Amino acid sequence: MLEIILGIYGLYVLVTGKMKLSATKEVVGAPARLIALIMLAPFPIAFAAGLGVGFVAGMNGQDIGDLRMTLMLMEVGIVVACAIAAFSIAHAIGKPPGAAQPQFPTEFGANPPYPQRPSDPNNPYQPPSI
């Protein structure tokens, strides 16, 4: 159940790019999407581990039913480790809402976003300055 919840939340964060941790902390953008990949990592990791254990058990002639508890505990450990890693990283890099977004000027008259070149009055192709 935890793996499904972690996967659904990981997909949500991957699509939106926003991970709200609390009222005072959030992770936005590429870091949030990378954390979402950590939240989605238990699926392929558990699959690869189960495939490896099943392959070794099959080569040794063991019945896979004997390893059911081992596989279940291994999957729970993988899910818990990925959840702890994802939320620990998110809390370490989380910022207050609004602080993560870059601040752009609202009007370009006072603070232009690019440096002004000196105007040449003899250049007929230069746009007029306002």
pLDDT tens for 42-62 read 999 999 999 999 899 989 988
Asked if 46 contacts 2 with a C-beta cutoff of 8 angstroms, the reply is no
Residue 105 has pLDDT above 60, yes or no: no
Asked if 51 contacts 58 with a C-beta cutoff of 8 angstroms, the reply is no
- The 10s digit of each residue's pLDDT in 115-130 is 666 667 777 777 666 6
Residue 23 confidence class, pLDDT cut points 50, 70, 90 = confident
φ, ψ of residue 18 to 5 degrees: the values are -135, 125
Average pLDDT over residues 80-93: 95
In the predicted model, what is the mean pLDDT of the chain? 84
Share of the chain above pLDDT 90, in %: 56
Question: Of 27, 11, 18, which Cα lies nearest the Cα of 89?
Answer: 27
- Looking at residue 36, what is its pLDDT? 96
Q: What would the two tokens of residue 116 be?
A: 């002004």
